Amino acid sequence: MKINAAALIVIISSLIAASSMAYADAPSINAMLAKADIVAGEKTAHNCQMCHSFGKGEPNKTGPNLWDIIGSNHARLDNYNYSSSMKALHDTKWTYDTLNQFLYSPQSAIAGTKMAYPGIKDTNDRANLIAYLRTLSDSPLPLPGK
Ligand code: HEC
C-alpha cells in the first residue's frame, strides 16, 4: 500500500488529537461561567440530590456531601467510603475543568467510579450547574481567569 504525504499528515494529526484529548472530551465551560444562570443550575442540581446533600456539614447519602467541592481534593471526606479510582485521585483538586469532564460523563472521566449517573451532555446545563455548585462554599473559588 502506498501512503502519500497528505494522507500521512492526516493520520499523524488525528493520532495527536486523540492523545491530547481532555479525559472525557467535554467542551469547555470556562468562558460560560461568569454569565451562567445559577437559578437554572440549582434546578439541574435536583438530579443530584437523591444521592448527594449540599449543605455544610450535612450527612452523606449514597454519594458524599458536596459542600465546598470546587477547589477541594478528590475524595476529600474521611467519613465517606470512596471507590479506589476516586481515592487514587486524592492529590488532585476538583477544578472547573475536572468537574466539567466528570459531570459530562462520570465513567469516562474516572474509570471505575461508583457514581452511577450517565452525565449531563448539554454544555449550557453543565455550566449553570457548576456555577451553582460554586456558590456552595464560604469562599467560592474565583472564576477561571479572574
Ligand atoms: C445515583 C447516585 C448519584 C447521583 C444521581 C449523582 N451522584 Fe455524584 N456521586 C455518587 C457516588 C456514589 C459518588 C462517589 C464516587 C466514587 O467514590 O467513585 C459520587 C461522587 C461525586 C463527586 C466527587 C466528590 C468528592 O468528594 O470527590 C462529585 C463532584 C459528584 N458526585 C457530583 C455530582 C453531581 C453534581 C450530580 C448531579 C448532576 C451527581 N453527582 C449525581 C452518586 C451519585
pLDDT, tens digit (0-9, with 9 covering 90-100), for 38-50: 999 999 999 999 9
Q: Which amino acid is at 49?
A: Q
User: What integer is the mean pLDDT of 105-118?
Assistant: 96
More confident residue, 113 or 1: 113
User: What integer is the mean pLDDT of 75-79?
Assistant: 97
Q: In a 3-state reduction of DSSP, which class is residue 39?
A: helix
More confident residue, 2 or 51: 51
For residue 7, what is its C-alpha cell? 494522507
Task: Kindly report the pTM of this predicted structure.
Answer: 0.87
Q: Which of 25, 6, 29 is nearest to 107 (CA)?
A: 25
Q: Is residue 96's pLDDT more than 80?
A: yes
pLDDT of residue 22: 42
Q: What is the largest CA-CA distance in the chain?
A: 65
More confident residue, 11 or 28: 28
pLDDT of residue 8: 60
pLDDT of residue 145: 82
Compute the half-sphere exposure of residue 8: CA atoms within 13 Å on the CB side of its CA: 5
Domain definitions of the chain by residue range: 23-134
The closest residue, in CA terms, to atom 28 on ligand 1 is 66
How far does the centroid of ligand 1 lie from the alpha carbon of residue 32, in Å? Answer: 23
What fold characterizes domain 23-134?
A: Cytochrome Bc1 Complex; Chain D, domain 2 (1.10.760)
Helices (H), 4-89: 5-19, 38-44, 84-87
pLDDT of residue 25: 87
Pocket of ligand 1 (CB under 6 A): 47-48, 50-52, 62-64, 66, 69, 74-77, 82-83, 85-86, 99, 103, 113-117, 120
